[in-house]
Chains A and B, each alone.
Chain A
Amino acid sequence: MCGIVGLFLKDRRLEPDLGRYLVPMLTSMAARGPDSAGVAVYGPPAAATVKITLARRTPEATFDAVAALAGETAHGAPVVRGDHAVFAIDAAAADEILARIRAELPAFDVTAAGNRIEIYKDVGTPAEVAGKLDLVAVGGTHAIGHTRMATESAVTVNGAHPFSTGRDQCLVHNGSLSNHHSLRRRLAHDGVRFATDNDSEVAAAYLSRQMANGRDLRGALEAALADLDGFYTFVVGTERGFAVLRDPVACKPAVMAETDAYVAFGSEYRALAALPGIAAARVWEPAPATVYVWEHAA
C-alpha cells in the first residue's frame, strides 16, 4: 500500500498556500498509509547558505546542541517545526557541519540538506503528523508527501518517506523493489552510505548517484527503468524539478491532474478532489514505464 501525493505549482501566487493544499491531499491518503507520514517542501532559497533539516529522536534533545556545534556557521536562529528544525549554515561549512552532526549528535537525524528542500516526517497518522508539524503553514514552489504502510523495514522516523540522498533531492515510493540488496551493494561499493535498511532509500540513492554522474532528472529515471526491478510508483523532487515514474507492470496506482496553476499527483483521485479548479483540470493516469518531468526555469 502507501499513499503518495505531490504538488508542483506553476502559478507563483499559490506558493504561500502550498501547505494548505498539500495537507488535505496527505490526510486523504490515511487509509493507504496510517503508520507514518512525511513531506518534502521546496521553500524559499537560502542565499549563501545550505538549509539543513534535522529531526530530534527524543523530546529531551534540544536544538541548542546543534546550534552550539554549528557556532558562527549558522545564520540566525533555526526555524523549529514540531520535532524538526531548519538551520541555515554557511555554504562553505555545510559539508563539515553535516558530517559532524552525524558523527557527534546521535540524538538527531538529518532529513534533508539543500538550497530549498526541507523534509518533515514522523510516525503517526497523516493528520497527527501534519498537525504536530503545522504543515498547513508551509509555503514553497513544490512539495511531495507520503503516507506509509510499512512492508520492508521498521516504523521509525528514519524509515518514513521522503528519502533524501542528495542535495535538494528527494524520492517517495509506493511499492517494493526486488533487487534492492544487490543494488545497495553496488552503490555501497561506490561509496554511498545508507541511513536505513529501506528499499526506497536504495532507489533514492540510485537516482542521486545517476545525477551525480551527470544525468539530468529525466535521464536518471530512464536509467532506473533498466536497473530497478520490482513494483514502484515514484515521485521525485529536485530543486526545480518534479518527476513521476511507474514500473512497466504498473500495479501501483497513480492519478495526475494539470491546470494552468499546478501539476498534482495522487495515488488515488481522492487526493486531488479538494484542489482548486479540479473539476476543469486535465485528469489522467500516467502511463507505465514513462518518465514525466516538470521543471521551473532556473
Chain B
Amino acid sequence: MRTADAAIADLEVMPLRELNAAFHAPDVAAIAPVWRVKNPHGAHALACGVDAPIAIDIDGHVGYYCAGMNQQATVHIHGNAGTGVAENMASGTVIVDGDASQSAGASGLGGLLHVRGSAAARCGISMKGIDVVVRGDVGHLAAFMGQAGTLIVCGDAGEGLGDSLYEARLFVRGRVASLGADCIEKPLREGDRATLAALLERCGEHGVDPADFRRYGSARRLYHFHVDHAGAY
C-alpha cells in the first residue's frame, strides 16, 4: 500500500472502517503524511474525525458527511460530495472539486471549505466560525442560523439567504433570490474587501474581484424577545 510519496487505500479492497481507523491512529502522520483514496464509490463518512496534519486525496464522488469533524487535515475530494461534507469541521481544509449536496460545512467551527462547483441547500447552516468559499451557486437557506465565520459565494444564492442569522459574514457576487428573516445587506467595507481578497487568494480563485461582492449580515432584531411581539406567541 505504501509508496514513496503516498499511502494508497483502495476502497474496493479495503473496508471503509479499516481506512477510517487508520486515519484515526495516533501516529497516522508518521505512517504517511499523504494518503490517496481510490474508488470511494459514494461511501458515507469517509475520512470523518481525522485529527492530524495529513493530506487525503479522494479520487471520485463521496457520500454523506465526508471529512466531518475534521481537524488539521487537508481533504481534497476529486468529485462531488453528498450531504454534510465537512460538517462540524474545527480546523484544516476541505476541497470539493465538483458539487456539494445539502448542508455543506454545517455547524463548522473553523477551517476552510472550498467548493469548486456549486453547493445545494443549507450550505453553512448553523456555521460557527468556518470559512466557506463556493465558486458556483448555493441553494436555499444558506448560512441559516449562522453564528460566526465567513461564507463567500462567487455565483448566485437561493431563497432565504442568512435566515435567522446571528452573526457570520456573508458575501455574494451574483444574484440573491431572497434574504431570510433578519438578514440585511450591509456596506462592503475596506476590511471586508481584505477578508474576501485573503480567502479568495487562499482558494486560488484568481480573477474574482472582491469589489464585485455584496455583503449581508444580521439586522440583530431577533436576538431578544421584544414585548411588541408578545401577541405572536
Contact = CB atoms under 8 A, between A and B. Distances in A.
A249 B63 CA distance: 20
B214 interface: no
B121 interface: yes
Given A273-B41, A288-B121, A288-B139, A250 B60 contact: no
Nearest to A287: B139
A269 B140 contact: no
A268 interface: yes
Contacts of B140: 248, 250, 288
B60 A268 contact: no
B219 interface: no
B155 interface: no
Interface string A249-260: 111010100000
B102 interface: yes
B120 interface: yes
B80 interface: yes
Contacts of A272: 42
A249 B122 CA distance: 10
B91 interface: no
A194 interface: no
B60 A279 contact: yes
A253 B84 CA distance: 12
A46 interface: no
B41 A270 contact: yes
Contact of B101 (A253, A271, A273): A253
B102 to A, nearest CB: 7
Nearest to B40: A273
Given A283-B80, A283-B98, A270 B139 contact: no
Given A250-B102, A253-B83, A284-B99, A268 B63 contact: yes
Interface residues of B, number: 21
Contacts of B139: 250, 287-288
A30 to B, nearest CB: 14
Contacts of B61: 269, 273, 283
A285 interface: yes
Nearest to B100: A285
B188 interface: no
Interface in B178-232: none
B62 to A, nearest CB: 8
B162 interface: no
Contacts of B64: 268
Contacts of B63: 268-270
A269 B82 contact: yes
Contacts, number: 53
A166 to B, nearest CB: 32
A270 B101 contact: no
B8 interface: no
Contacts of A283: 61, 79-80, 98
B7 interface: no
A253 B42 CA distance: 13
B19 interface: no
B82 A253 contact: yes
B43 interface: yes
A287 B43 CA distance: 22
Contacts of B83: 253
B99 A270 contact: no
Contacts of B60: 279
A250 B120 contact: yes
Contacts of A288: 121, 139-140
A66 to B, nearest CB: 42
Interface string B58-101: 00111110000000000000011011000000000000001101
A268 B40 CA distance: 13
Contacts of B101: 253, 255, 285
Give the most central of A269, A270, A279, A287: most B CB within 10 Å. A269
Contact of B121 (A250, A270, A271, A279): A250
A224 to B, nearest CB: 19
Nearest to B137: A287
Interface in A173-226: none
B96 to A, nearest CB: 13
Interface in A273-288: 273-274, 279, 283-285, 287-288
Interface of B: 41-44, 60-64, 79-80, 82-83, 98-99, 101-102, 120-121, 139-140
17 contacts: A248-B140, A250-B102, A250-B120, A250-B121, A250-B139, A250-B140, A268-B42, A268-B44, A268-B64, A269-B42, A269-B61, A271-B42, A273-B42, A284-B80, A284-B99, A287-B139, A288-B140
